[in-house]
Structure 1
């Protein structure tokens, strides 16, 4: 651990069943008119209209941007920012998955600091003015973006997925209501759940981990291991949904302060070039990257392994192996596809492996990994992950 550590969170977190009902109260103390950043699925489910009704009860008017589709791009940011300015909104509300939240983070900062979102990449431009108040409401249990000071936006001019991290991007308020995640289809529950697990694992094995993040990462891993399959198999299991929502929130708080590692560094280029949603691309990579890293973080992976097999009394090395095999088995049971199974063309994939490895290294995340890879090792991992088999011959039963 470094000599000292910094720990950042939203100033207010409302979590638990029916927390969504607090949106009007939280908005009313921060502004007069809100822009809601969401998508057409949230509108169809009725969440957008419910949000507007809750705001009206507190005399808060609202405008709505529903243009977010899949992974967020600089185009979404420009469109949403224009709406915010045209409607003279002074509060930003994100309602949806990580793409909605990340888009909202960007416009909240740019609205008061100016410029274009790509200028904030690599700290080339620093947000010096306070952003507009941002209230983040996740509807999936996965990204943890409601509790992070980073946004991931694809630059459409060069197909680079920009990871932009500054304190100004932290939402002021997180409202985490597990009842909103009940509508998530099985595939989204699976992908976002493994995404949250990867956040917790990478925060725990990161070279930048600290006692505060360790506490949250361990709690998150325990909840996700216990509840993800239950939520996947029965979307109406509210207790499982509750544990997943809280586990995702804890993982978000952990990784925004401890940083992510190799999985995320390799995941972003896949999303940018092949438009694979972030949760799926993380899930596709996680088992193989853990195999690559395990000899350099045996004790920490053993802690994960004991959540899967709490009765194991064998050595840390053996339980670390159980952790890797259990993650593989979990991905298999959740029907996570490999890159080939997703439909990515093999020839096209081969042609961009070198660029993806370069972009992964440029993100900085691989340098936090317990085993820091070379460019050639990352290229080999991409090759491995393309047709990776999650099935395991080893028993990992509890």
Structure 2
């Protein structure tokens, strides 16, 4: 296999809109990144993180030294939680403004990076707030520079133009997508991910799979999105079981991280539809629900719903975990069962009912899927027409 020919200790550049430094030891490229920021005249930055992963991974020590060596002052905001809220973003923005921050550095997974992208926009639009941003009341065309130091192999947000932040008062979890929030640089270092717990390792990897299943089957998909989808699923199927058993296996982490990166590029090209549009209401109502778990519980039912329209693509990209499928409409139930079995084989046993959702909440979830700002845009590009009936079918079949 070609993977064996690759030196995983060679840090290479993968270019899309964002320049990503990828490989074991990539965190040390922060010296070059800080020098680049200094060369742009940037003297102050806000650093967005969660509570502790930036410290436990060692990423903060390297970042702090790089900033100090280049004369860049920093403000550390370490309050970002999973499923970040507009309140976090507004608080961090206020602190960043008071500090006169000129750029934003994120250290973490999707939550700190998405919150950082949001702060970057609001630094450029000081009269706006995060609720206005996520209720789509204005279209930003500029943002402060964003640097993304990625600590999980799932979201792909370090190389794309998307961000997600919740509005708790309305139980909304919208998504935004603007060219101005492509990170200037990203750090993808698999050595920073060896301490990910098994559960989180599974959830983020399933997130990557969801990205490509959706990206490859929207009505606006393209050959690149499909090509990247097939490779993403092959790599996750091969290396996720290894990473679960051997969490410090750098080769497994390297290829799961690569899968995540190309999945981010895939949905940056092909966009998303049902699974993310339906998961966002789940974790808006239940903020403690892991995003990847929500996606995993929905995915088999989504595949069943779209299989008659997208069977040929799905049969192709799922070949590593669902072999011998032809892509015909009569395989929809078989695909549902096979995918559910694969998800259980990697350690996710839950259905929605196991996580506290039941028939009584389905109507609320259906309404949120259509009412939450931005989610209607995802549903509009699903391969089968998104109606309240189709959305209800997916939720019910996921209970």
State whether TM-score is above 0.5. Answer: yes
**Aligned counterparts of 2:369 and 2:139: Cα–Cα separation in 1:** 27
Task: Give 1:13's aligned residue.
Answer: 20
The match for 1:217 among 207, 219, 229 is 229
**Aligned counterparts of 2:333 and 2:123: Cα–Cα separation in 1:** 48
**Aligned counterparts of 1:140 and 1:264: Cα–Cα separation in 2:** 18
SS at match of 1:364: helix
Q: Structure 1 residues 349, 172: closer, same or farther in 2, change over 3 A?
A: same
Residue 355 of structure 1 and its aligned partner are, at CA, apart by 2.5
Task: Give 1:5's aligned residue.
Answer: none
How do residues 312-323 of structure 1 correspond to structure 2 at under 5 angstroms?
312=324, 315-317=326-328
Q: Structure 1 residues 20, 319: closer, same or farther in 2, change over 3 A?
A: farther
Task: Give 1:377's aligned residue.
Answer: 390
Task: Give 1:391's aligned residue.
Answer: none
Does residue 245 (structure 1) correspond to residue 257 (structure 2)? The answer is yes
**Aligned counterparts of 2:95 and 2:185: Cα–Cα separation in 1:** 22
Residue 325 of structure 1 and its aligned partner are, at CA, apart by 4.2
Does residue 94 (structure 1) correspond to residue 109 (structure 2)? The answer is no
Gaps of 5+ in 1: 1-7, 387-398
Say whether the 8 Å CA contact 2:281–2:365 is kept in structure 1.
no
Say whether the 8 Å CA contact 1:35–1:91 is kept in structure 2.
yes
Does residue 295 (structure 1) correspond to residue 303 (structure 2)? The answer is no
Task: Give 2:370's aligned residue.
Answer: 358
**Aligned counterparts of 1:123 and 1:345: Cα–Cα separation in 2:** 29
Task: Give 1:41's aligned residue.
Answer: 52
The match for 1:283 among 275, 284, 296 is 296
SS at match of 1:217: helix
**Aligned counterparts of 2:331 and 2:397: Cα–Cα separation in 1:** 24
The match for 1:63 among 51, 75, 94 is 75
Task: Give 1:390's aligned residue.
Answer: none
C-alpha deviations, 1:75-128, integer Å up to 9, x for none? 110111122122222221111110000000001111012311232346531213
Say whether the 8 Å CA contact 1:137–1:175 is kept in structure 2.
yes
**Aligned counterparts of 2:98 and 2:169: Cα–Cα separation in 1:** 26
SS at match of 2:45: strand
Q: Structure 1 residues 41, 338: closer, same or farther in 2, change over 3 A?
A: farther
C-alpha deviations, 1:144-202, integer Å up to 9, x for none? 11112111111122111121122112211111111111111011111111010010111
C-alpha deviations, 1:43-92, integer Å up to 9, x for none? 45143233212332333332111111110100110111122122222221
SS at match of 2:170: coil
Residue 266 of structure 1 and its aligned partner are, at CA, apart by 0.3
How do residues 149-160 of structure 1 correspond to structure 2 at under 5 angstroms?
149-160=161-172
How do residues 111-260 of structure 1 correspond to structure 2 at under 5 angstroms?
111-114=123-126, 115-121=128-134, 123-128=136-141, 130-260=142-272
Between 283-292 and 51-60, the greater mean CA deviation after superposition: 51-60
Between 56-65 and 351-360, the greater mean CA deviation after superposition: 351-360
Say whether the 8 Å CA contact 2:230–2:318 is kept in structure 1.
no
Does residue 32 (structure 1) correspond to residue 39 (structure 2)? The answer is no
Q: Structure 1 residues 43, 375: closer, same or farther in 2, change over 3 A?
A: same
**Aligned counterparts of 1:216 and 1:329: Cα–Cα separation in 2:** 23
Say whether the 8 Å CA contact 2:34–2:66 is kept in structure 1.
no
**Aligned counterparts of 1:305 and 1:124: Cα–Cα separation in 2:** 39
TM-score (norm 2): 0.87
Residue 309 of structure 1 and its aligned partner are, at CA, apart by 5.6
Residue 270 of structure 1 and its aligned partner are, at CA, apart by 0.6
**Aligned counterparts of 1:330 and 1:180: Cα–Cα separation in 2:** 27
Gaps of 5+ in 2: 1-14
TM-score (norm 1): 0.87
Between 354-363 and 75-84, the greater mean CA deviation after superposition: 354-363
Residue 347 of structure 1 and its aligned partner are, at CA, apart by 6.7
Between 97-106 and 78-87, the greater mean CA deviation after superposition: 78-87
Q: Structure 1 residues 123, 18: closer, same or farther in 2, change over 3 A?
A: same
